[in-house]
Amino acid sequence: MLRVGILVSGGGTNLQAILDAIDNGTITNASVEVVISNNAGAYALERARKHNIAAECLSPKEFSDREEFNQALIAKVDSYHLDLIVLAGFLVKIPESMIAKYRNKIINIHPSLIPSFCGVGFYGLKVHEAALARGVKITGATVHFVDEGMDSGPIILQKAVEVLPGDTPEILQRRVMEQAEWIILPKAIDMIANGNI
């Protein structure tokens, strides 16, 4: 059984897609052991509590410096003895020491077809604003392993989504979530849980 920890900062719709996929058998051989957020108000924590999953908040603001926060984050993650760490909209930089310790055991969902619209400054709605500004007709989402770069680790899965006339960043974001993110992130976890990656 793959022990999974999920790191979040926001609404948690990707977390919910994972929890639903485990409940309906789309993901097998995996259990979510903990949800960790840097944001006490993240609705993702409420989604975890509703599912009787440990919900932990660790905010950099609670620590005297970033290094102290990093150590606390690693200790918290270690305490759950995880096989896989999933970044589902986690907006805090993962410490390099944690990436090294959990090499090829941390995955991230990014709301574009990497290498387009990724890297520093490309997160949340900004990704979709850039796609619309460039005029691309196809966008999508990517699941990749996390390395020391920003959105630069080995790609695991991608799924394309059409950009439609009249799309706003919000409309496009929702379509990318519904038609790509909420499908490929659970699929990637199931593949890892069953030794298919």
- Which of 5, 12, 140, 153: binder of ligand GRF (CB under 6 A)? 12
| Binding of residue 14 to ligand GRF (CB under 6 A) | yes
3-state secondary structure (DSSP) of residue 180: helix
- Segment near ligand GRF (CB under 6 A), from 4-12, 52-60, 62-70, 131-139? 4-12
Q: Is 128 a catalytic residue?
A: no
Smallest distance from ligand GRF to CB 53, Å: 15
Kindly write out the interface string for residues 110-129 of this chain, putting x where it contacts ligand GRF by CB under 6 A and - elsewhere.
xx------------x-----
**Site stretch for ligand GRF (CB under 6 A), options 8-16, 30-38, 73-81, 95-103:** 8-16
Min dist CB 27 to ligand GRF, Å, is 16
Asked if 125 and 170 count as a contact pair (C-beta separation under 8 A), the reply is: yes
> Cβ distance 14 to 178 under 8 Å?
no
Q: Which stretch binds ligand GRF (CB under 6 A): 5-13, 49-57, 99-107, 130-138?
A: 5-13
Locate the DSSP E strands across 88-165.
106-110, 138-145, 155-162
Give how many residues touch ligand GRF by CB under 6 A: 16
Helix (H) or strand (E) holding 176: helix 169-176
Is residue 11 a contact point for ligand GRF (CB under 6 A)?
A: yes
Using an 8 Å Cβ cutoff, are 138 and 116 in contact?
Answer: no
Neighbours of 124 (CB within 10 A): 14
Question: Quick one: tokens of 37?
Answer: 């957020």
Residue type for position 77: V
The SS3 assignment for 82 reads coil
Task: Based on the shown chain and the rule CB under 6 A, indicate whether residue 186 belongs to the binding site for ligand GRF.
Answer: no
Positions marked catalytic:
110
